[in-house]
Chain A
Amino acid sequence: MSGEMANEVKLISGRSHPELSEKVAKRLGIEVARTISLNYSNQETSFTVGESVRDEDVFIIQSTTTGDVNEGLMELLIAISACRTASARRITAVIPNFPYARQDKKDKSRAPISARLVANMLQTAGANHIVTVDLHASQVRSVFAIQGFFSVPVDNLYAEPSFLRYIRENYKPEDCVIVSPDAGGAKRATSIADHLNTGFALIHKERPRPNVVGRMVLVGNVEDKIAILVDDMADTCGTLVKAASVLKENGAKAVLALVTHGILSGKAIENLNGSVLEALICTNTVPLGDKIERCPKIRVIDISPTIAEAIRRTHNGESVSYLFNHAPV
């Protein structure tokens, strides 16, 4: 990969998403580095590097496990710190689903800006570079906010090229309408609609409290079309399910949801199974575990080629921006 020099890619996997790491490693033609992480009986996390990372280019892949975000975050911090003390040349944290990305502003008095805290923690631990996928981009501004929290480079990859290909391969774009479930995601949805040359609609919603869904109004026409809801994450799926029924009421032939991060916490699976949504299509940035078996509506797009390519390009010092418009096959 890098000629005669010792500076190789070392791919380290956290415990949250080993399947993804394995896929990325396979794609890069390397093996996941030998590490072991575990929790002591007193619950402290311990991380051991089982091979030399001295002067190597280290990439640590850690996603967030639904319900166990803090555990994974601490493990990542400890792993970064371990590699730094083991004299790695560069440490890149590959965080497909950036934790606490939604808490990026002081929206009320004394609310914590946890995203900034996480950014600071990652840098304190010793991360030299961050690679992530679709930062909570329904507020487009928050991408810049989170990049601004860091003083190290942050590469935000997009799942959009993979989405575009998926739609083109499985549906006729002229039958589809792209729908944004909230005003904040309009830009992202219009971008997909423009690329596919399809119609666009928007759902206006009020959100009184987090994880609670308010009233919804459809702006645009979805009659006799396949409505594709586009969002950055599906958490409890309350929004998506309610949006889907609004779209059905307005005459949509079928309703699909296309999201980057399938967090699917709480009653998400029950919500999905009982909804009019035909399918939830998400990438594997977040480990889905047994949710695929529990919910036949979930379809998965593999994001590992994009991540692997970003790692390869970062390591070789090539531009990553090609990936913003193209999905590696």
Chain B
Amino acid sequence: MVRNIVVLGGNSHPELVESICGILGLPACSRILTKFSSGESRCEIQDSVRGKDVYIIQTGFGGNGSRLNDHFMDLCIMISACKTGSARRVTAVLPLFPYSRQPDLPYNKAGAPLYKAPTPNGENGKNQYTFDSVPPTPGPGVPKTSGLTNSSDIANQMIKNALTNGSSKEQYTTHDYENLSIVNGFQAKPGYKQWVAQAGTLVANLLTCAGCDHVITMDLHDPQVQGFFDIPVDNLYGQPLLKRYIQQHIPNWRDAVIISPDAGGAKRATAIADSLGMEFALIHKERRPTKITDRQNASMMLVGNVTDRVCILLDDIADTGNTITRAAKLLKKEGATTIYALLTHGVFSGDAISRVKASAIDKLVVTNSVPQDEHKKQLGSKLDVLDISPIFAEAMRRVHHGESISVLFNYE
């Protein structure tokens, strides 16, 4: 029993809230959290929070009929309500941090795309490079940007794309940014590199402005997100759980190979491989937004040897499942016997579930940082779910008592 602490749950993951409260030995704070018919969130906190240490659990996941942005607004409103209700400290517990994955910058083989200045009808079709910037620097005599000549039916596209109840018909992933023209034939103005909003900083600022004093999260996709905050952020690791799973559930794990499906996750994967004394291999990939064809699969390259070995794919998040399923396909081709995929966050949005079902992955292991009931129903025994509530409960207990939580980062 922990005193003077209030655990407040959002609507995104009630099972996790219940489970954490069970471990801490206290009931969840009673609250009303619904929507008015107009669509505005309605929040009433029914237990006193005056002088209390409040923990609000809300994961960055929308599914099963709920919306991610609703959950995020609910979280901000709850934080604000607790602050207004004289809570001593408000901690946001976000097992999966929303908007932590930045969209891919449109890199291609030649590096980041510099826009091409419109070719002045040069002789011999050669690009005549000029040092004039496009659009031109304004000044006397320089015509204004001819911004309005290029008539587009963007308004009609937006009407088509307008917000509707429920999710939109068409689904896009972060990868689509490499080729935005697939989205309703969208074209940036010639000479302008499209500017994709990077919402991570914004989300951090919004949480702070709502009154959040502390954030606890797990396996941030970009650890840099931690730096977006001016308040303390505890980034817990799912690694110990995954490590334990390898040791306990994978036969002959000492002979298996740990695979990182992309260069970004190499550090995470090598950390586990090193501590378990296992071999390590890496897949080098180029992301392509279009259909997976063999030729494109060839653009994935395996560095290391997996022939006749058990492979353990390690990654922090599976969203559309593109990365891990393609990696699995490549590993099978290279002669891997069994393929495990261990992930911290199993979001599985879009058609990820069917893709995973059809893939070469033999066993998928995720934590319950987002609700997994629905996924478990569809994937059956192919999916194993690890419980993170003990880690979060312990972190909350330690933060509350002012104890160090670094022991949670690397316990065996």
Contacts and interface: CB of A to CB of B under 8 A. Distances in A.
B49 A36 contact: no
Interface in B2-61: 35-46, 48-49, 61
Interface string A1-45: 000111010000101111101100100001111111111111111
Interface string B120-151: 00000000000000010010100011011001
Contacts of B199: 44-46, 78, 81
Interface string B147-179: 110011011011101111101101111100100
Given A81-B202, A110-B44, A114-B77, A265 B172 contact: no
Interface residues of A, number: 82
Nearest to A1: B144
A19 B76 contact: no
Contacts of B145: 6, 8, 52
B78 interface: yes
B197 interface: yes
B195 A86 contact: yes
Contact of B210 (A38, A73, A75, A117): A117
A329 interface: no
A81 B201 contact: yes
- Give the one of B84, B320, B347 with max A CB within 10 A: B84
B260 interface: no
Contacts of A64: 38-39
Interface of A: 4-6, 8, 13, 15-19, 21-22, 25, 30-52, 64-75, 77-79, 81-82, 85-86, 99-100, 102-103, 106, 108-114, 116-117, 120-121, 123-125, 210-211, 235-236, 263, 265-266, 287
A4 B187 CA distance: 27
Task: Enumerate the 10 nearest inter-chain pairs by beta-carbon distance, A residue then B residue, closest first.
Answer: A41-B350, A82-B197, A266-B37, A112-B81, A110-B85, A6-B138, A51-B189, A43-B68, A41-B349, A50-B188
A110 B49 contact: yes
Contact of B70 (A38, A71, A112, A287): A71
Interface string B175-219: 001001001101111001011111101100110111000000000
Nearest to A69: B39
Given A72-B163, A74-B69, A124-B208, 13 more contacts: A21-B158, A36-B157, A38-B172, A42-B61, A51-B147, A67-B37, A73-B69, A102-B40, A112-B80, A112-B84, A121-B209, A125-B202, A263-B38
A50 B78 contact: no
A100 B158 CA distance: 25
B340 interface: no
Interface string B84-110: 110000000000001101010000000
Helix, strand, loop or mixed for chain B's interface?
Answer: loop
Contacts of A48: 177, 180, 186, 188, 194-197
B319 interface: yes
Contacts of B164: 65, 68
B392 interface: no
A71 B163 contact: yes
Interface residues of B, number: 90
B64 to A, nearest CB: 11
Given A18-B162, A108-B44, A65 B39 contact: yes
B183 to A, nearest CB: 6
B181 to A, nearest CB: 10
Contacts, number: 259
B103, B158, B196, most chain A CB atoms within 10 A:
B158
Given A69-B39, A121-B209, A36 B180 contact: yes
A275 B271 CA distance: 69
A39 B99 CA distance: 12
B183 A81 contact: no
Nearest to A72: B163
Contacts of A124: 202, 205-206, 208-209
Contact of B194 (A50, A116, A211): A50
A120 B73 contact: no
Contacts of B62: 42-43
A248 B184 CA distance: 51
B81 A235 contact: no
B84 A16 contact: no
Nearest to B351: A41
A68 to B, nearest CB: 5
Nearest to B46: A110
B357 interface: no
Contacts of A68: 39, 163-165
B91 to A, nearest CB: 17
A263 B35 CA distance: 14
Q: Which of A4, A47, A70, A106 has the most CB of B within 10 A?
A: A70
A68 B35 CA distance: 10
B136 to A, nearest CB: 9
A21 B162 CA distance: 12
B70 to A, nearest CB: 5
B280 interface: no
Contacts of A5: 138
Contact of B154 (A16, A34, A81): A34
Given A41-B171, A50-B186, A114 B85 contact: no
B103 A46 contact: yes
A70 B38 CA distance: 11
A46 B40 contact: no
25 contacts: A4-B140, A31-B154, A36-B186, A38-B172, A38-B183, A40-B172, A41-B319, A42-B61, A48-B196, A50-B187, A52-B145, A67-B38, A78-B197, A79-B197, A81-B199, A103-B40, A111-B44, A114-B41, A114-B80, A117-B210, A124-B206, A210-B36, A265-B38, A266-B37, A287-B162
